[in-house]
Structure 1
Amino acid sequence: MVLSQAERPKGPVPVEVQAWFDARGWRIRRHQLDMLSKARAGADALLVADTGAGKTLAGFLPTLCDFAPSAGEAPEDGLHTLYVSPLKALAHDVKRNLLTPIEEIGLPIRVETRSGDTSSDRKKRQRTKPPHVLLTTPESLSLLLSYPESMEMFRTLKRVVIDEVHAFATGKRGDLLALALARLQTLAPDMQRVALSATLGNPLSFQEWLSPQAPGDTGEIQAADLVLGEKGAPAEVEILLPIEERVPWGGHAGRWAVDQLMQAIRDNRTTLIFTNTRFLAEFIFQCLWEVNEENLPIGVHHGSLSKEARRKVEDAMAAGELRALVCTASLDLGVDWGDIDLVVQMGAPKGSSRLLQRIGRAGHRLDTASRAVLVPGNRFEFLEAMAAKDAVDEGMRDGEDFRAGGLDVLAQHVMACACAGPFHEEDLLAEIRSSMAYAWLDKAVFDRVLHFVESGGYALKAYDKFKRITRDKQGVWRLTHPNQAQRHRMNAGIIVDSEMLQVRFKNGRQLGKVEERFAAQLSSGDTFFFAGMSLEVEAVKDMDVIVRAAKKSATIPSYGGLRLPLTTHLATRVQAMLDDRAGWGRFPDDVREWLEVQDYRSRLPKPGELLVESFPHAKKHYTAYYTFEGWNANQSLGMLITRRMESLGLMPAGFVANDYTLAVWGLKPVTDPKPLLSPDILTEEFTDWVTESHLLRRAFREVAVISGLIERQHPGKRKTGKQVTFSTDLIYDVLKKYEPDHVLLEAAWTDARARMTDVGRLADLLERSQHELVHVELDRVSPLAVPVMTMIGREAVPQGEVDDELLLEAETLAGEAMRIEPKEAH
Structure 2
Amino acid sequence: MAAALPIELAEWFAARGWRVRRHQLDMLAAGAAGRHALLVAETGAGKTLAGFLPTLADFTPSVLGGAAPPEGLHTLYVSPLKALAHDVQRNLLAPVAELGLPMRVETRSGDTPSDRKARQRARPPHVLLTTPESLSLLLSYPEARQVFSGLRRVVVDEVHAFAAGKRGDLLSLSLARLQAFAPGLQRVALSATVADPIDYQAWLAPEGDPAAVTLVEGEPGVPPVLEILLPDDARVPWGGHAAAWAVPQLYAAIRAHRTTLVFTNTRFLAEYIFQLLWDVNDDKLPIGIHHGSLSKEARRKVEGAMARGELRALVCTASLDLGVDWGDIDLVVQMGAPKGSSRLLQRIGRANHRLDSPSKALLAPGNRFEFLEATAALEAVAAGQRDGEAFRPGALDVLAQHVMACACAEPFDEASLLAEVRSSTPYRWLDAESWDRVLQFVATGGYALRAYDRFRRIVRDRHGTWRLAHPEQAARHRLNAGIIVDSEMLEVRFRNGRSLGRVEESFGATLAPGDTFRFAGMDLEVEGVRDLELVVRAAKRAGTIPSYMGARLPISTHLAERVRGLLVDRAGWGRFPDDVREWLEMQDWRSRLPGPGELLVESFPHEQRHYSVIYTFEGWNANQSLGMLITRRMADRGLAPLGFVANDYALGVWGLKPIDDPAPLLSPDILTHEFLDWVQDSHLLRRAFREVAVIAGLVERQQPGQRKSGRQVTFSTDLIYDVLRKHEPDHMLIEAAWADARTRLTDVGRLAALLDRAADELVHVRLDRVSPLAVPVLVMIGRESLPNGAADDDLLVEAESLAGQAMRPE
TM-score range for the pair, normalised by the shorter chain length: over 0.9
2:587–2:771 contact (8 Å) kept in structure 1: yes
Q: 1:36 aligns with which of 28, 35, 44?
A: 28
**Which amino acid letter does the alignment assign opposite residue 686 of structure 1?**
F
Q: Offset of 1:272 from its aligned partner?
A: 0.2
2:624 matched residue in structure 1: 635
User: Out of 154, 157, 163, which is 2:151 matched to?
Assistant: 157
- In the TM superposition, 1:486-525 aligns within 5 A as 486-525=475-514
Residue 337 of structure 2 is matched in structure 1 by 348
Contact 1:76–1:156 under 8 Å retained in 2: no
1:692-703 correspondence runs (5 A)? 692-703=681-692
The 5 Å alignment of 1:194-205 reads 194-205=188-199
- Asked if 1:818 is matched to 2:798, the reply is no
Distance 1:655 1:710 in 2: 36
Q: Which residue does 1:51 correspond to in 2?
A: 43
Deviation string, structure 1 residues 109-144 (Cα, Å, up to 9, x no partner): 000000000000000110010000000000000000
In structure 1, the partner of 2:778 is 789
Moved more, 93-102 or 13-22: 13-22
Query: Aligned AA for 2:35?
Result: A
Picking from 22, 25, 41, the partner of 2:14 is 22
Amino acid at match of 1:266: R
Please give the residue correspondences for 1:551-700 in structure 2 after superposition, counting only pairs within 5 Å. Answer: 551-700=540-689
Question: Which residue is 1:716 aligned to?
Answer: 705
- Which residue of structure 1 aligns with residue 172 of structure 2? 178
Counterpart secondary structure, 2:552? coil
C-alpha deviation, 1:221, in angstroms: 5.9
5+ residue gaps, structure 1:
1-8, 214-218, 822-826
| Cα distance in structure 1, aligned partners of 2:216 and 2:405 | 34
Corresponding residue SS for 2:744: helix
1:398 aligns with 2:395: no
**1:166 aligned to 160, 163, 167, which one?**
160
**2:116 matched residue in structure 1:** 122
Map 1:82-231 to 2 at 5 A: 82-213=76-207, 222-231=211-220
Taking the aligned partners of 2:682 and 2:17, their CA distance within structure 1 comes to 62
For residues 559-614 of structure 1, what are the alpha-carbon distances to aligned partners after superposition, in whole Å with 9 as ceiling and x for unaligned? 10111121100000000110110000110000000001111111111211000000
Paired residues of 1:250 and 1:790 also in contact (CA < 8 A): yes
8 Å Cα contact 1:115/1:137 also seen in 2: yes
Aligned-residue offset at 1:293: 0.2
Q: Summarize deviations over 1:723-762 as a string: whole Å, max 9, x none.
A: 1111111111110110011000010011111221111111
Mark the CA change 1:771 to 1:315 in structure 2 (over 3 Å): closer, same or farther.
Answer: same
Q: 2:745 aligns with which of 756, 760, 764?
A: 756
> Aligned residue for 1:482?
471
Q: Is the 8 A contact 1:160 1:194 kept in 2?
A: yes
Distance 2:780 2:595 in 1: 25
Q: How does 1:531-550 map to 2 (within 5 A)?
A: 531-550=520-539
1:67 and 1:109 in contact (8 A); partners too = yes
Name the CA shift for 1:10/1:181 in 2 (closer, same or farther; >3 Å).
Answer: closer
Distance 2:151 2:125 in 1: 11
Q: Distance in 2 between matches of 1:182 and 1:805?
A: 54
What is the deviation of 1:14? 1.5
Which residue identity lines up with residue 795 of structure 1 in the other structure? E
1:541 Cα offset (Å): 1.2
Structure 1 residue 396, shift from structure 2 partner: 1.0
Whole-angstrom CA distance in 2 between matches of 1:367 and 1:551:
48
Q: Secondary structure at the match of 2:407?
A: helix
Amino acid paired to 1:478: R
TM (normalized to structure 2)? 0.99
CA contact under 8 A between 2:492 and 2:503: conserved in structure 1? yes
Identity %: 74
Q: Distance in 1 between matches of 2:270 and 2:3?
A: 46
Structure 2 CA distance for aligned equivalents of residues 488 and 476 of structure 1: 20
Deviations 1:265-315 (A, max 9, x none): 000000000000000000000000000000000000000000110000000
Partner of 1:317: 306
Contact 1:612 1:625 in 2 (8 A): yes
Residues 407 and 743, structure 1, Cα contact 8 Å, conserved in 2: yes
CA contact (8 A) 1:79 1:157 kept: yes
Check the 8 A contact 2:231/2:245 in 1, yes or no. Answer: yes
Which residue of structure 2 aligns with residue 216 of structure 1? none
Q: Is the 8 A contact 2:524 2:543 kept in 1?
A: no
How far apart in 2 are the matches of 1:772 and 1:746? 33
| 1:114 counterpart letter in structure 2 | R
Contact 1:204–1:223 (Cα < 8 Å) also in 2 = no
Output the CA distance in 2 between the equivalents of 1:339 and 1:552: 34
Listed one character per residue, the Cα deviations across residues 475-515 of structure 1 (whole Å, up to 9, x for unaligned) are 00000000000000000000001011111111111111100
2:60 maps to 1:68 = yes
Instruction: Give the match's secondary structure for 2:743.
Output: helix
Q: Shift of the alpha carbon at 1:551?
A: 1.5
- Deviation track 1:332-367 (CA, whole Å, cap 9, x = no partner) reads 000000110000000000000000000000000000
Counting matched residue pairs gives 808
Match of residue 5 from structure 1: none
Tell whether the 8 Å contact from 2:201 to 2:210 is kept in structure 1 after alignment. no
Shift of 1:795: 1.3
Give the residue type in structure 1 aligned to 2:500.
L
* Runs of at least 5 residues in structure 2 that lack an aligned partner in the other structure: none
Amino acid aligned to 1:706: I
Residue 10 to residue 623, structure 1, CA distance change in 2 (3 Å): closer
SS in 2 for 1:624: strand
Separation in 2, partners of 1:772, 1:134: 53
Residue 3 (structure 1) aligns with? none
- Please tell me whether the aligned partners of residues 221 and 436 of structure 1 are also in contact (alpha carbons under 8 angstroms): no
Q: 2:192 is matched by which residue type in structure 1?
A: A
Determine the C-alpha separation between the residues in 1 that align with 2:229 and 2:139: 48
- Corresponding residue for residue 5 of structure 2: 13
1:529-553 CA distances to partner (integer Å, 9 max, x unpaired)? 1101111111111111111111121
Q: How does 1:352-363 map to 2 (within 5 A)?
A: 352-363=341-352
- Deviation per CA, 1:70-116, whole angstroms, max 9, x where unpaired? 10234431000000000000000000000000000110000000000
Specify the code of the residue in structure 1 equivalent to 2:185: M
Distance in 2 separating the partners of 1:716 and 1:795: 40
Matched residue of 2:363: which SS? strand
Root mean square deviation of aligned Cα: 1.0
The answer for the alignment partner of 1:6 in structure 2 is none
Q: Deviations along 1:242-283, whole A, 9 cap, x unmatched?
A: 012510000000000010000000000000000000000000
Q: Verify the 8 A CA contact 1:677 1:769 in the aligned structure 2.
A: yes
How far apart are residue 153 of structure 1 and its match?
A: 0.4
AA of the residue aligned to 1:298: I
In the alignment, residue 454 of structure 1 is paired with which amino acid?
A
Contact 1:341–1:370 (8 Å) recurs in 2? yes
Contact 2:69 2:102 (8 Å CA) reproduced:
no
- In the TM superposition, residue 699 of structure 1 has moved relative to its aligned partner by 0.6
Matches within 5 A, 1:358-507: 358-507=347-496
Alignment deviations for residues 748-782 of structure 1 (CA, whole Å, 9 cap, x no partner): 01111122111111111111110111101111111
Q: Supply the AA of the counterpart residue of 2:155.
A: V
